[in-house]
Amino acid sequence: MTRRLNLSTRPFQQVRPVWVTSLALAFVAVALISASLAEFITAKGAEKSASLQLQRLQARRSELAGRVDKANRQLATVKWKKLQTETASLQEVVARRKLVWSQLLADLERVVPWNVRLVSIMPSVDPKGGIKVVLIGYATDREAWLKLLATLFADDRFSDPLPLSEETTAVTSGRGHQFQLSVRYWPEGRR
Protein backbone atom coordinates (compact mmCIF):
# COMPACT_ATOMS: atom_id res chain seq x y z
CA MET A 1 0.00 0.00 0.00
CA THR A 2 1.42 3.20 -0.97
CA ARG A 3 0.85 6.15 0.90
CA ARG A 4 0.13 9.50 -0.62
CA LEU A 5 2.03 12.25 0.56
CA ASN A 6 0.27 15.50 1.51
CA LEU A 7 2.52 18.40 0.84
CA SER A 8 0.10 21.15 1.82
CA THR A 9 0.43 22.94 5.01
CA ARG A 10 -3.29 23.25 5.47
CA PRO A 11 -5.94 20.68 4.85
CA PHE A 12 -7.91 21.01 1.58
CA GLN A 13 -11.48 22.33 2.00
CA GLN A 14 -14.27 22.27 -0.60
CA VAL A 15 -15.55 25.94 -0.57
CA ARG A 16 -17.26 26.06 -3.96
CA PRO A 17 -20.79 25.20 -2.64
CA VAL A 18 -20.49 27.92 0.00
CA TRP A 19 -19.58 30.50 -2.64
CA VAL A 20 -22.36 29.43 -5.01
CA THR A 21 -24.93 29.55 -2.19
CA SER A 22 -23.65 32.94 -1.01
CA LEU A 23 -23.78 34.31 -4.54
CA ALA A 24 -27.34 33.02 -5.03
CA LEU A 25 -28.42 34.54 -1.71
CA ALA A 26 -26.81 37.84 -2.73
CA PHE A 27 -28.78 37.84 -6.02
CA VAL A 28 -32.01 37.07 -4.12
CA ALA A 29 -31.24 39.85 -1.63
CA VAL A 30 -30.58 42.35 -4.45
CA ALA A 31 -33.86 41.31 -6.16
CA LEU A 32 -35.83 41.68 -2.93
CA ILE A 33 -34.26 45.05 -2.18
CA SER A 34 -35.01 46.34 -5.69
CA ALA A 35 -38.63 45.03 -5.45
CA SER A 36 -39.00 46.73 -2.07
CA LEU A 37 -37.58 49.97 -3.45
CA ALA A 38 -39.95 49.85 -6.44
CA GLU A 39 -42.91 49.22 -4.16
CA PHE A 40 -41.77 52.00 -1.82
CA ILE A 41 -41.49 54.48 -4.72
CA THR A 42 -44.94 53.44 -6.04
CA ALA A 43 -46.50 53.79 -2.56
CA LYS A 44 -44.84 57.16 -2.09
CA GLY A 45 -46.31 58.36 -5.43
CA ALA A 46 -49.77 57.02 -4.50
CA GLU A 47 -49.51 58.73 -1.10
CA LYS A 48 -48.57 62.02 -2.73
CA SER A 49 -51.46 61.68 -5.22
CA ALA A 50 -53.91 60.89 -2.39
CA SER A 51 -52.59 63.87 -0.43
CA LEU A 52 -53.16 66.19 -3.41
CA GLN A 53 -56.66 64.79 -3.94
CA LEU A 54 -57.43 65.26 -0.24
CA GLN A 55 -56.32 68.91 -0.48
CA ARG A 56 -58.55 69.43 -3.56
CA LEU A 57 -61.51 67.81 -1.79
CA GLN A 58 -60.97 69.94 1.31
CA ALA A 59 -60.86 73.07 -0.84
CA ARG A 60 -64.07 71.96 -2.62
CA ARG A 61 -65.71 71.25 0.74
CA SER A 62 -64.77 74.73 1.99
CA GLU A 63 -66.20 76.28 -1.19
CA LEU A 64 -69.45 74.31 -0.85
CA ALA A 65 -69.74 75.15 2.86
CA GLY A 66 -69.41 78.84 1.95
CA ARG A 67 -72.12 78.50 -0.70
CA VAL A 68 -74.41 76.69 1.77
CA ASP A 69 -73.86 79.43 4.36
CA LYS A 70 -74.65 82.08 1.76
CA ALA A 71 -77.81 80.22 0.69
CA ASN A 72 -78.88 79.83 4.34
CA ARG A 73 -78.41 83.55 4.91
CA GLN A 74 -80.52 84.30 1.83
CA LEU A 75 -83.22 81.84 2.94
CA ALA A 76 -83.27 83.44 6.38
CA THR A 77 -84.43 86.70 4.79
CA VAL A 78 -87.41 85.06 3.03
CA LYS A 79 -90.81 85.89 4.48
CA TRP A 80 -92.19 82.35 4.56
CA LYS A 81 -95.73 83.25 5.66
CA LYS A 82 -96.11 85.70 2.80
CA LEU A 83 -94.66 83.19 0.33
CA GLN A 84 -97.02 80.49 1.61
CA THR A 85 -100.00 82.83 1.21
CA GLU A 86 -98.94 83.76 -2.32
CA THR A 87 -98.43 80.11 -3.22
CA ALA A 88 -101.86 79.17 -1.87
CA SER A 89 -103.52 81.97 -3.82
CA LEU A 90 -101.67 80.91 -6.99
CA GLN A 91 -102.79 77.30 -6.45
CA GLU A 92 -106.36 78.53 -6.15
CA VAL A 93 -106.02 80.56 -9.36
CA VAL A 94 -104.59 77.54 -11.18
CA ALA A 95 -107.40 75.32 -9.87
CA ARG A 96 -110.00 77.89 -10.93
CA ARG A 97 -108.43 78.04 -14.38
CA LYS A 98 -108.70 74.27 -14.60
CA LEU A 99 -112.48 74.53 -14.05
CA VAL A 100 -114.13 74.41 -17.44
CA TRP A 101 -117.66 75.77 -17.12
CA SER A 102 -118.91 74.11 -20.26
CA GLN A 103 -117.76 70.72 -19.00
CA LEU A 104 -119.30 71.32 -15.55
CA LEU A 105 -122.61 72.35 -17.09
CA ALA A 106 -122.58 69.37 -19.46
CA ASP A 107 -121.90 66.99 -16.56
CA LEU A 108 -124.70 68.57 -14.50
CA GLU A 109 -127.09 68.35 -17.44
CA ARG A 110 -126.27 64.66 -17.72
CA VAL A 111 -127.03 63.86 -14.04
CA VAL A 112 -129.91 66.22 -13.21
CA PRO A 113 -133.31 64.53 -13.74
CA TRP A 114 -135.88 66.22 -16.00
CA ASN A 115 -138.15 67.14 -13.07
CA VAL A 116 -135.40 69.06 -11.20
CA ARG A 117 -134.54 72.67 -12.02
CA LEU A 118 -131.29 74.30 -10.88
CA VAL A 119 -131.42 78.03 -10.17
CA SER A 120 -127.90 78.54 -8.81
CA ILE A 121 -124.53 76.86 -9.38
CA MET A 122 -121.67 78.14 -7.19
CA PRO A 123 -118.31 76.39 -7.65
CA SER A 124 -115.46 77.09 -5.24
CA VAL A 125 -111.92 75.80 -5.16
CA ASP A 126 -110.51 74.49 -1.89
CA PRO A 127 -106.84 75.06 -0.93
CA LYS A 128 -105.87 71.55 -2.10
CA GLY A 129 -107.19 72.22 -5.60
CA GLY A 130 -110.48 70.32 -5.31
CA ILE A 131 -113.72 71.79 -6.64
CA LYS A 132 -116.79 72.03 -4.43
CA VAL A 133 -120.08 72.99 -6.08
CA VAL A 134 -123.11 74.32 -4.19
CA LEU A 135 -126.37 73.72 -6.06
CA ILE A 136 -129.68 75.44 -5.33
CA GLY A 137 -132.77 74.31 -7.13
CA TYR A 138 -136.35 73.06 -7.16
CA ALA A 139 -137.68 69.56 -7.66
CA THR A 140 -141.29 68.71 -8.50
CA ASP A 141 -141.44 66.42 -5.46
CA ARG A 142 -139.23 64.77 -2.86
CA GLU A 143 -138.70 61.66 -5.03
CA ALA A 144 -137.12 63.78 -7.77
CA TRP A 145 -134.84 65.38 -5.17
CA LEU A 146 -133.79 61.94 -3.85
CA LYS A 147 -133.25 60.71 -7.41
CA LEU A 148 -130.83 63.62 -7.97
CA LEU A 149 -128.91 62.66 -4.81
CA ALA A 150 -128.74 58.99 -5.90
CA THR A 151 -127.51 59.98 -9.38
CA LEU A 152 -124.79 62.21 -7.88
CA PHE A 153 -123.66 59.34 -5.63
CA ALA A 154 -123.43 56.95 -8.60
CA ASP A 155 -121.67 59.26 -11.08
CA ASP A 156 -117.86 59.15 -11.29
CA ARG A 157 -117.50 62.93 -11.84
CA PHE A 158 -119.28 63.80 -8.58
CA SER A 159 -118.77 62.61 -5.02
CA ASP A 160 -119.87 63.33 -1.47
CA PRO A 161 -123.24 65.03 -2.14
CA LEU A 162 -124.30 66.66 1.11
CA PRO A 163 -127.80 68.16 1.53
CA LEU A 164 -127.54 71.59 3.12
CA SER A 165 -131.25 72.39 3.28
CA GLU A 166 -134.57 71.30 1.87
CA GLU A 167 -137.99 72.80 2.13
CA THR A 168 -141.36 72.06 0.67
CA THR A 169 -143.01 75.25 -0.51
CA ALA A 170 -146.74 75.74 -0.58
CA VAL A 171 -148.59 73.92 -3.31
CA THR A 172 -150.07 77.20 -4.53
CA SER A 173 -146.64 78.70 -5.30
CA GLY A 174 -145.98 76.02 -7.92
CA ARG A 175 -142.25 75.90 -7.28
CA GLY A 176 -142.19 72.48 -5.68
CA HIS A 177 -139.52 71.10 -3.36
CA GLN A 178 -136.69 73.60 -2.76
CA PHE A 179 -133.22 72.23 -1.94
CA GLN A 180 -129.62 73.26 -1.47
CA LEU A 181 -126.71 70.80 -1.57
CA SER A 182 -122.95 70.75 -1.91
CA VAL A 183 -121.10 68.19 -3.98
CA ARG A 184 -117.45 67.58 -4.88
CA TYR A 185 -116.73 67.79 -8.61
CA TRP A 186 -113.97 65.83 -10.38
CA PRO A 187 -113.46 67.15 -13.94
CA GLU A 188 -111.34 64.14 -14.96
CA GLY A 189 -113.36 61.64 -12.94
CA ARG A 190 -112.69 60.23 -9.48
CA ARG A 191 -109.24 58.76 -8.96
Domain ranges, ordered by start, for the chain: 16-77, 100-185
CATH architecture of structural domain 100-185 = 2-Layer Sandwich (3.30)
Of 158, 160, 163, 166, which is closest to residue 138 (Cα–Cα)?
A: 166
* Each residue's pLDDT expressed in tens, for the chain with a length of 191 residues: 677 766 666 666 777 888 889 999 999 999 999 999 999 999 988 999 999 999 999 999 999 999 999 988 888 887 878 777 777 777 767 766 767 788 888 889 999 999 999 999 998 877 666 788 999 999 988 888 889 999 998 988 888 899 998 887 655 456 678 899 999 988 877 76
pLDDT at 33: 93
pLDDT at 172: 45
Direct distance between the N- and C-terminal alpha carbons of the chain, in angstroms, rounded to an integer: 124
